[in-house]
């Protein structure tokens, strides 16, 4: 019986299915597969191209052009700012070549002249004033008092001094844009025709928003202002060279407080 069982086991072993043949090794298959696929470009090839000699030259040229463009823009902006600022100063304040200073007053000597410099013309054109010929009238403007403080239309001021040595003079108050303060009122202007002289022969004028006794020039608003003194037929040829004009012929401007 045991012999018969062993024979059956051997037969069953002999009837086992044949062992499948082993295919190629995975390593070999992995080595063979890439050969059948298209070769992809390496990302390092673009880096190499950008770092090539022609591309380096092109990058240097572009960087140089951008640098010069930035320098031109920077220098152009600085020159433009300096040009505008200097032109504004020449038009607004003037220089010793165009303006004579007498205390708080500035005299534009070429105003109304056919030979007036462009800054003098621009100064009066900006304010909207049409000056007469220099031989007929002289113009004195003040934007600060005798202590150097700015003039404000909501503050009170006292103008005092001898009457300018001329046939006639007028006094007006304007804002810095040339607009007349208190336009349309009888106190928007005061002149030598109506000014009441002091006992000593001088003139005292009050500038304020509220009425004042005596000579009163009305102001309004609450902004920077300027005073225009127009002198017709000034006896002296140069306001700066004449000691009489310096000391006696122009008013002092003193602050009397703000409302």
Question: Residue 66 falls within a domain, yes or no?
Answer: no
Examine residue 227 and state whether it is found in any structural domain, yes or no.
yes
Average pLDDT along the chain: 75
Inside any domain, residue 162:
yes
Q: Label residues 80-119 b or e (16+ Cβ within 10 Å = b).
A: eeeeeeeeeebbeebeeebbbebbbbbbbbbbbeeebbeb
pLDDT for 245: 45
Among the ranges given (94-98, 122-126, 138-142, 226-230), the one the predictor scored with the smallest mean pLDDT: 94-98
Beta-carbon contacts of residue 142 (< 8 Å; ≥ 6 apart): 104, 105, 106, 151, 226, 227, 229, 253
Residue 221 lies in a domain: yes
Helix (H) or strand (E) run with residue 77 in it: helix 53-92
pLDDT band for 17, please (50, 70, 90 cuts): low
What residues make up the domain containing 194? 99-258
178-220 pLDDT, tens digit each = 888 876 677 888 988 888 888 888 899 999 988 888 899 988 8
Domains of the chain: total = 1
CATH code of the domain covering residue 185: 2.60.120.600
Task: Specify if 111 maps to a domain.
Answer: yes
Examine the pLDDT at 25 and tell me if it is beyond 70: no
Residue 30: per-residue pLDDT: 45
Residue 224 included in any domain:
yes
Domain-embedded: residue 94: no
Q: Measure the CA–CA gap between 134 and 233, rounded to whole angstroms.
A: 9
> How far is Cα 151 from Cα 258, in angstroms, rounded to an integer?
11
Query: What are 207's two structure tokens?
Result: 């500038």
pTM of the model: 0.63
Residue 22 covered by a domain: no
């Amino acid at each position: 019986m045991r012999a018969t069982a062993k024979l059956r086991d051997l037969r069953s072993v002999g009837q086992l299915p044949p062992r499948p043949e082993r295919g190629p090794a995975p390593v070999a298959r992995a080595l063979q597969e890439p050969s059948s696929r298209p070769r992809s470009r390496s990302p390092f090839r673009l880096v190499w191209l950008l770092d090539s000699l022609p591309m380096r030259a092109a990058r240097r040229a572009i960087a140089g052009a951008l640098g010069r463009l930035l320098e031109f823009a920077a220098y152009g902006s600085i020159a433009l700012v300096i040009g505008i600022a200097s032109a504004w100063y020449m038009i607004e304040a003037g220089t010793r070549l165009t303006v004579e200073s007498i205390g708080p007053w500035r005299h534009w000597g070429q105003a109304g002249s056919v030979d007036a410099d462009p800054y003098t013309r621009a100064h009066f054109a900006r304010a909207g004033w049409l000056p007469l010929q220099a031989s007929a009238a002289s113009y004195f403007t003040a934007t600060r008092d005798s202590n150097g403080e700015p003039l404000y239309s909501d503050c009170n001021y006292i103008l005092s001094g001898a009457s300018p040595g001329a046939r006639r003079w007028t006094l007006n108050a304007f804002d810095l844009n040339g607009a007349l303060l208190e336009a349309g009122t009888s106190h928007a202007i005061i002149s030598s025709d109506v000014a009441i002289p002091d006992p000593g022969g001088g003139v005292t004028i009050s500038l304020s928003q509220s009425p004042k006794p005596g000579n009163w020039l009305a102001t309004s608003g609450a902004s920077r202002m300027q005073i225009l003194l127009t002198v017709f037929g000034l006896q002296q040829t140069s306001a700066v060279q004449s000691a009489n004009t310096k000391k006696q012929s122009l008013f002092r401007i003193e602050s009397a407080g703000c409302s």
